[in-house]
Amino acid sequence: MGKQLSALATTALAAALVLGGAAAAPADVVDGSGGGYASWLLTGSAPSYSGSLDLGGGFPETSFTASSRQLTSQTGRSTFLPAGSAPGLVFGSSQNQGYINQRPLKDTPTDPGITTYTFSKPTPSGAWGFILGDIDADKAVVSALGANGQPVAVADLGFQGVFNYCDAPAPRPCTGDPEGFDLPMWDPATGTLLGSGFGSNRDTAGASGWFMPSVPLTSLTVTYTRLSGLPVYQTWFATVAHSISGTVSGVQVAGLAVTLNDGQGNPVASTVTDSSGAYAFENFLALDDYTVNATPAEGFEFEGGPSQAVELGQGDVGGVDFRLTAIIVPTKSPTPTKSPTPTKSPTPTKSPTPTKSPTPTKSPTPTKSPTPTGTPTGTPTSTGTPTGTPTETGTSTVDPTDAPTQSPTTEPATSSTTPVEPTGPGTMEASGVSTSTAAAVTPDSATQQPSNTARALAATGADKAGPVLLAVLILLGSGAAMVGAARRRHRH
């Protein structure tokens, strides 16, 4: 309990100084209260007991339950493990350190007392141990569960050997043993520590065995059985602890936070540096996987970094030092403000290429009208009005069926003479067409240049109707001649 109060007081003082910003000298040391033997807290009564033990130094919190007809807590004033005993050489003397005495559930070979210790987290794989004392007319079977919750091998229980705490250099709890310093025996096959009884199962003094587990444990069980008489056995738990110390140098060294972390990175303890930059972590488990972390003041940094690994397995470690230096931040030349990049004018949209007007279709070259072979010019000359009694010519001088020999483009000659009635019976004049009219169309006239009228007709295409008109005129002429002939026949 004294270890607990001491640790609490130191931690509270360190916290107060951190909050208040002071840098008093006591704040630099944190005592882990490790090393040595556990203090015990016992509750309950027979046959069911419970309690806890405190080892300090960063050892996991430990509770226990026990079935026993009697269980008591002892001060270690009269019975203890001498410093010269086997475990005393590792953990020191247990004088004035607590332990417990236990009896079985019943004083019979078939009713053992069972005590189970449970750890709040897996124990370290070294730097701690337990001792079972006064095993003479009884036996104790030891078992444990590992970090995975499975039973551990007997070899991993770390049995260290047997000894008799009365057989050690003084000071010791007894002046001698009339029975010759009895020793128990260890059975590695079953994990049993068996008292010899000095051959007659009698109670003796000081026969003991001790263990230092080599693997992490989550629980440990001791099953204790009477062999003869009214035996009792003793249990001690102990740890090995060492200390760490160092100094922060440089500038602004007071009041800096320093933390001790375990192998899993969990904080174990913390403190602050004193006015000279010193700090210390005292009496912590002798393990080899610690890290000390220091926090620099604002604007400073530690040369070599803020963390250092520390191994306590072989003893105290000093000189875990840190040096502060100011952080020099080079002044950067102001970055010139870049002129804003001018916004590019939008690329004008190209006007659509005008659609080419379709090439006008060339008017077809007018087909030249055929050059007329000659249009008779002039008015056809009449043969004149006959004088006197017309001479019967017999037949018409123009055969109605005869087609004119003119070119199709030659305009028909229109007679301007009055038809001459026949002067005699049976005679018939050609119907309005005199021989002189026929003779008026000469070959020369057919080759003459076309008249203006003919050219005009050719330009309009009307000259092409010439042959048709000529044929019509011929038919009309023939018909007129026939009518005239009929009239003359009627007169006669």
The single-letter code of the amino acid at 462 is: A
Sheet of 138-146: strands edge to edge?
39-45, 48-54, 62-67, 113-119, 217-226, 138-146, 192-194, 185-187
Contact 138, 225 (CB under 8 A): yes
The β-bridge partners of 308 are 292
Give the Cα-Cα-Cα angle 352, 356, 360 (nearest 5 degrees): 165
3-state DSSP of 314-361:
CCCECCCCEEEEECCCCCCCCCCCCCCCCCCCCCCCCCCCCCCCCCCC
The single-letter code of the amino acid at 446 is: A
- Burial class for 57, CB neighbours closer than 10 Å (0-12, 13-18, 19+): buried
Terminal Cα distance for the chain, rounded = 189
Question: Closest Cα to residue 241, out of 214, 268, 274, 267?
Answer: 268
**Secondary structure letter of residue 241 according to DSSP:** E
**pTM score above 0.75:** no
H helical segments located in 84-179: 88-91
Question: Would you give per-residue pLDDT tens digits along the chain (492 residues)?
Answer: 444 434 443 444 344 333 333 334 455 899 999 999 999 999 999 999 999 999 999 999 999 999 999 999 999 999 999 999 999 999 999 999 999 999 999 999 899 999 999 999 999 999 999 999 999 999 999 999 999 999 999 999 999 999 999 998 889 898 766 567 889 999 999 999 999 865 555 678 899 999 999 999 999 999 999 988 888 999 999 999 999 999 999 887 899 999 999 998 999 999 999 999 999 999 999 999 999 999 998 899 999 999 999 999 999 999 999 999 988 877 766 676 666 666 665 665 565 565 555 555 555 555 554 444 444 444 444 444 434 443 333 333 334 344 443 444 434 433 333 344 444 444 333 334 333 433 333 434 444 454 554 454 455 554 555 666 777 778 887 777 776 776 666 555
